[in-house]
Amino acid sequence: MNAHNDMHERIARLDPEILWRNFVRFNAVPRPSKKEQKAIEYVENFGKRLGLETIRDKAGNVIIRKPATPGMENRETVVLQAHVDMVPQKNKGVEHDFEREGIKMLIDGDWVTADGTTLGADNGIGVAAILALLESKDIPHPPLEALFTFDEETGMTGAHLLEPGLLKGKIMLNLDTENDTELDIGCAGGIDVTATGTYRLTAPMAGGKAYHLFVKGLTGGHSGMDIHLYRGNANKIMNRLLYLVLNRGAQIAYVRGGGLRNAIPRESEALVVLPADKADEIREKLNRLVADIKHEQKKQDPDLQILINEDKMPGQVMHDDDARALVRAVYGAHNGVYRMSPDILDLVETSNNVAQVRAEDGKITIGNLTRSSVESTKHDLVNALTSVFNLAGYEVQTAGDYPGWEPDPDSPILGLMKDLYVKLFDEQPQVEACHAGLECGILKSKYPQLDVISFGPTIEGAHSPDERVNIASVRKFWNYLLETLRNIPERK
């Protein structure tokens, strides 16, 4: 632990120190989505210790108001917004309790990363930037309203439940974008699609051989921002293996794949029983399929491993008809890009992530996250998924439906920030709409007066244990944020 403490002290001294110090302190607070109570209390107490007006609404969002610095009292009030929760992902074999432990961080060349887990830079860097501004004594800024939402990653619950009438600002800077050359002015909406069913249990075949199938080492990543990169989905890869063995007389004992809806699944395991007289033949065909899959994914997933090891016989397996229904349903469920935007170059309009496949103890769950910047195509894909799962005999429920954020290319804050970007960095920023789910659309629906933009430092591998944030990019982001605040116009 001393080594980690020393490393954290090094990180806290990075430039800008006021931001990095707050990030180190905030990253010591456990805050997985839906278990972020300690983080809510942390930011609430932070505001109170500074003597600033601090409000926690009925849902658990925190708003902290800081008056303008002298001479900037007549500027427009700016809402600075970030979410306090993080995606809890770790590599196989890494021991880490996200509900009780802070993140163990490392410096790796030009990057800050974590020791086998997600880093929490998404959205911890945004939170740290806001905390740094709240505690600063010499940074010029207009009146500020800091809005800290919760449970963004698994439902945007805080944004959904934010009470109208609390925010006074006219401009909102969302600090939750992951490329420091981008200004985001739009995002996708999303909806959770969950299929559930049951299956009959039966005895395994006499004289069969049990094998454990394990897919691991996939790159994974953000199920919105990275969905167009065609990284392997562990659930879909596993299903190809199961399809092969079922068609040759095998049985399935269980399937356990994936987890969080907003992360491309990196691992899946299954236990199958092969007919003894066909076991060698099936193993050979499996090995050929494994070679094909690795060849297909060699660029996107160079560390992919697919293991096939003999195991002990299970007490029960799925009924053959139920196993076939499961495998056909997962095969038929669309995964990846469904439609590219015809209006914005290279923007994914609609996609689905088959995030979780569980078949165990007689129960089946298939969890998906469907995203789209167009409501009609979002629901078109939901209908397609529902149809496939209904054909398999499963019930389908949808939840967590949230709207997209419609781009406004004539936004005043966009015009200001484009000019400042050119002035500071001598190049044009990339004005984008993203396929991730930002809270901006929900917040703007509650506060229509808000002129909204989203930006942030460069973060790679968000929602995976490969997550890392670029050190120089954090400095660039911070300077850009400060320059923006200095140039906020006066109230009309």
Instruction: Point out the residues that are catalytic.
Output: 85, 152
Element (H, E) at 220: none
Cα angle 314, 315, 317 (rounded to 5 degrees) comes to 75
Tokens linked to 201:
């249990």
Element (H, E) at 332: helix 320-332
Query: What gap in Å lies between CA 398 and CA 368, rounded to an integer?
Result: 10
Q: Which residues pair with 128 in a beta bridge?
A: none
Provide the 3-class DSSP secondary structure of residue 233.
Answer: coil
Q: Is the dihedral of CA 431, 437, 442, 443 positive or negative?
A: negative
Burial class (CB in 10 A: 0-12, 13-18, 19+), 156: buried
Residue type, 399: A
Q: Where are the beta strands (DSSP E) in 154-267?
A: 171-174, 182-187, 189-198, 201-202, 209-216, 251-258
- Tokens 């005043």 label which residue? 412
Among candidate residues 36, 49, 43, 128, the one with its CA nearest the CA of residue 478: 128
CA separation (Å) from 51 to 18, 47, 54, 146, 228?
19, 6, 8, 14, 46
Alpha helices in 110-255 (DSSP H): 121-135, 157-161, 234-246
Would you say 154 and 33 are in contact if contact means Cβ atoms under 8 Å apart?
Answer: yes
